[in-house]
Amino acid sequence: MYIVQSGMNIESYTQILTRYWGFTSFKPLQEEIIRSIAEGRDTLGLMPTGGGKSLTFQVPTLAQEGICLVITPLIALMKDQVNRLNSLEIKSIAIHSGMSGEEIDNALENSIYGDYKFLYISPERISTRIFQAKVSRLNLSLVAIDEAHCISQWGYDFRPSYLKIASLRDHISEKVPFLALTASATPQVIDDIMKKLAFREKNVLRTSFDRKNISYLVRKVEDKGTYLIKTLQKAKGSGIVYVRSRKRCKEVADLMVANGISADFYHAGLTDELRDKKQASWTIGETRVIVATNAFGMGIDKSEVRFVIHWDIPDSIENYFQESGRVGRDGKPAFAVLLYSPSDKSRLIDTIRKKFPAVEKIKDTYEALCNYLQVPLGSGKDNVFDFNMYDFVSKYRLPVIEAYNSLQFLQREGYMEFTEEINNPSRVHFIVSRDDLYKFQVANESFDGFIKLLLRSYTGMFAEFVPVNEETLSRKSAATRDTVYQYLVKLSTLKIISYIPGKKTALVIFTEERLVRKALMISPDNYLHVKEKYEVRLDKMIEYADSDGHCRSVYLLNYFGEESDRCGICDVCRERNELDLSKYEFDLILEDIKSVLSEKNPDAEELVKMIDYPEDKSIKVIRWLLDHNKIVPDNDHKLTWGS
């Protein structure tokens, strides 16, 4: 482990950056954030996606003693980061609801006694008894809260368990700073984040969200298919078309392929293998256009995306900005296009009804879920269940969208949490010592070969759970997969190993005991208030699409509390400014023309030569003045000032 301690300066941070990640300099704001937390200050870092937020807690953690606690809601991303850190030989570990109690306990003990640098945890584990009991024994250096906007009820992605984060302060040294990170927060949400995390002082560091190379366009078209084909046949480079439904994904991709455009589709209903394959093929440029639902986004690392086209209008500026922001990371010109037809507005407004089921329906869904999972009244808290939404709604004959949104409200109210579907590999941990294992091998010859195979194939199994692959073991041993499985189960019942078979599932975690229907509260704060905020967000999105009076880029930036000049390249700027002049330039040229015409009467060509501005600009102003009868030609084309 490479640890620089006293007299830390930015060179040393840069050394760490280079040594582990091979980068030679920091991206904008990374240094400022690192310095701020090095001073022990609570800090809110606001950077767009891809801005490099992870390194703002990873680099300083390596520069000091102790472990960094990282709170992040998506388990798939968490695992990804932990794997990446470990591959850099930075000891890191994760705790999430997809793990068994034994594994969690193990991981915590390891974080306390091992020299781990990062402990990733999903938010719903924070309030669990076991974590609360042990957190004070961690040698914490920093608490990093990723996706910090999830703490705000007013935000678009609220997770109630984030509210428990502040309570960590009761268990840890007051010297440990909090670093909150997000790519998306309105001014109101920014304040809320600092308040809900009990910041000791307000301290926000932000980079501009201005993406100067993106041309934002709204295209009002009835026939989106035709528009798309025509545009993509002309446009160059690769891109993404976002659509709302899985069905539409395939339809639109088919339509493009039928018109000779290289395209494929992507959504969450496909197998992991297929999705990986499609994404990879798009990333390397074999597929030019990917038509996708919003499931496409995590872990996209492609900088030369030339266009993102939204076939359907998203339900918030936050989502739109996030998704369209995937274009043009290379800094070269890129397009973010929103296709908008008059009927889209009413369809979008209609989502309010679907998003907000009647309170009685929410209660119905709660009871159905408790019965489905066989949770008795008065129990269930902290229990984790595998959850198959499709199976649930079909058993209870519930309309799927309504059921899904009801569950969102139950989560919002803090009764339960849901995770995304996660892929958990099988895991093995030896629970006997090497000596005892040896004795067992001698006494049980039939297991000897298999145990040797395990020990040869994997390391670290005496210390912790290690992911194993039954497929691989079967190939290596020429036994069937089932035989391998039987061996593992047998060793587990003999208490030689702890074996957790792999599975892929979504989880539901009860954060409260099951209540009787009458006691189940859906508070106005979590329903009416949320509905109002949702409507405001919708309105803002519709206004963006509907109005052609504001520069698109300025509109988006203002939404996030940032001032900016007109971008000059969005559809509004281009159109209003066919002239392509600032008001200032326009006025200067106009004055000049006026003064020339007060003395002489040249024709247009002569006039251009007589004024002191670039010809193209002067021509535009003269044309405008002619169009508006401000200057008038006589029969010989000589010009006079009109009125």
Give me the residues that bind ligand ADP (CB under 6 A), please: 23, 26-27, 30, 47, 49-55, 301
Evaluate whether 418 touches 507 at the Cβ level (below 8 Å): yes
Which residue, 4 or 401, has its beta carbon nearer to ligand ADP? Answer: 4
Judge contact between 183 and 146, C-beta under 8 A. no
Quick check: helix, strand or coil at residue 295? coil
3-class SS of residue 139? coil
Q: Which is nearer to ligand ADP, 20 or 586 (CB)?
A: 20
- CB nearer to ligand ADP: pick between 301 and 435: 301
Output the smallest distance, CB 180 to ligand ADP, in A. Answer: 13
Cβ at position 160, least distance to ligand ADP in Å: 23
Q: How far is the CB of 323 from ligand ADP (least distance, A)?
A: 14
**Structure tokens that stand for 94 in this block:** 């994760």
Q: Of 77 and 295, which CB lies nearer to Mg ion in the complex structure? A: 77
d(CA 555, CA 552): 5
Whether the CB-CB separation of 398 and 354 falls below 8 Å is answered with: no
Which partner, ligand ADP, Mg ion, none, binds residue 26 by CB below 5 to 8 Å per kind?
A: ligand ADP
**What does the DSSP 8-state code read for residue 525?**
G
Structure tokens at 98: 């997809």
| DSSP code per residue over 396-458 | TT--HHHHHHHHHHHHHTTSEEE---EEE-EEEEE-S-HHHHHHHHHH-HHHHHHHHHHHHH-
- Which of ligand ADP, Mg ion, none does 574 bind, CB closer than 5 to 8 A by kind? none
If the CB atoms of residues 174 and 301 are measured against ligand ADP, the closer one turns out to be: 301
**Which partner from the list ligand ADP, Mg ion, none does 414 bind, CB cut-off 5 to 8 Å by kind?**
none
| Cα radius of gyration rounded to whole Å, the chain | 30
Question: Which token pair is 165?
Answer: 């984060």
Cα–Cα distances in angstroms (integers) from residue 334 to residues 308, 331, 566, in the given order:
8, 8, 17
Q: Which is nearer to Mg ion, 53 or 149 (CB)?
A: 53
Q: List the single partner that 620 binds among Mg ion, ligand ADP, none, CB under 5 to 8 Å by kind.
A: none
Question: Could you tell me the smallest distance in angstroms from the CB atom of residue 22 to ligand ADP?
Answer: 9
Nearer to ligand ADP, 49 or 281 (CB): 49
**Whose Cβ is closer to ligand ADP: residue 301's or residue 627's?**
301
**In the complex, what is the shortest distance from the CB of residue 121 to Mg ion, in angstroms, rounded to a whole number?**
16
Q: Which is nearer to ligand ADP, 71 or 500 (CB)?
A: 71
Beta carbon nearer to ligand ADP, 26 or 340: 26
Whether 306 contacts 335, CB under 8 Å: yes
> Which residues lie closer than 8 Å to 509 by C-beta, 6 or more apart?
97, 124, 382, 383, 384, 385, 416, 417, 418, 419
Applying CB under 5 A, the span of 2-10, 28-36, 48-56, 501-509 interacting with Mg ion comes to: 48-56
Least distance CB 54 / ligand ADP (angstroms) = 3
Instruction: Tell me the pairing of strands 384-387 and 503-510.
Output: antiparallel
- DSSP 3-state percent helix, strand, coil across the chain (nearest 5): 45, 15, 35
Helix (H, G, I), strand (E, B) or coil at 309: strand
Instruction: Kindly tell me which of 96 and 244 has the beta carbon lying closer to Mg ion.
Output: 96
| Residue 333 and residue 213 in contact, taking contact as beta carbons nearer than 8 Å | yes
Return the one option of ligand ADP, Mg ion, none that residue 266 interacts with (CB less than 5 to 8 A, by type).
none
**H or E element that contains 224:** helix 224-234
Binding-site partner at residue 27 among ligand ADP, Mg ion, none, CB < 5 to 8 Å by type:
ligand ADP
Chain residue at closest Cβ approach to Mg ion: 53
User: Distance between CA 293 and CA 246 in Å, rounded?
Assistant: 7
Name the one range near Mg ion by CB under 5 A: 52-60, 252-260, 265-273, 631-639: 52-60
Q: Phi/psi of residue 315, each to 5°?
A: -95, 5
How far, rounded to the nearest angstrom, does the alpha carbon of residue 559 sit from its chain's CA centroid?
A: 18
149 binds Mg ion (CB under 5 A): no
When asked if residue 224 is in the footprint of Mg ion (CB under 5 A), the reply is no
Q: How far is the CB of 47 from Mg ion (least distance, A)?
A: 9
Sign of CA dihedral 99, 107, 419, 291: negative
| Integer Cα distance of 12 and 18 in angstroms | 10
Minimal distance in Å, beta carbon 140 to ligand ADP?
Answer: 21
Smallest separation (angstroms) from ligand ADP to the CB of 399 = 36
Q: State yes or no: residue 267 binds Mg ion (CB under 5 A).
A: no
The item of ligand ADP, Mg ion, none sharing an interface with residue 51, based on CB under 5 to 8 Å by kind, is ligand ADP
Q: Does 164 bind Mg ion (CB under 5 A)?
A: no
Cβ of residue 54: shortest distance to Mg ion, in angstroms?
5
β-pairing verdict for 416-418 and 503-510: antiparallel
Query: How many whole angstroms from its chain centre is CA 384?
Result: 25
Dmax (CA) of the chain: 116
- Based on CB atoms, which residue is closest to ligand ADP, 59 or 93? 59
Minimum Å distance from CB 57 to Mg ion?
10
Residue 47 near which of ligand ADP, Mg ion, none (CB within 5-8 Å, type-dependent): ligand ADP
DSSP class of residue 294 equals T
* Min separation Cβ 53 and Mg ion, Å: 5
Per-residue binder mask for Mg ion (CB under 5 A), 3-42, x = binder: ----------------------------------------
Select from 53, 206, 329, 537 the one that contacts Mg ion (CB under 5 A). 53
Give every CB contact of residue 181 below 8 A, 6+ residues apart in sequence. Answer: 44, 45, 46, 47, 53, 56, 57, 144, 145, 146, 147, 148
Part of the chain binding Mg ion (CB under 5 A), chosen from 8-16, 51-59, 108-116, 483-491 = 51-59
CB of 146 to ligand ADP, least distance (A): 7
Q: Please give the backbone phi and psi of residue 8, each rounded to the nearest 5 degrees, phi first.
A: -65, 125
Q: Which is nearer to Mg ion, 84 or 576 (CB)?
A: 84
Q: Minimum CB separation from Mg ion for residue 35, in Å?
A: 20
| Number of residues located near Mg ion, criterion CB under 5 A | 1
DSSP 300: -
Phi-psi region of 495 (alpha: psi -120 to 50; beta: other; left: phi over 0): left
Q: Select 72 or 498, whichever has its Cβ closest to Mg ion.
A: 72
Interface with Mg ion (CB under 5 A): 53
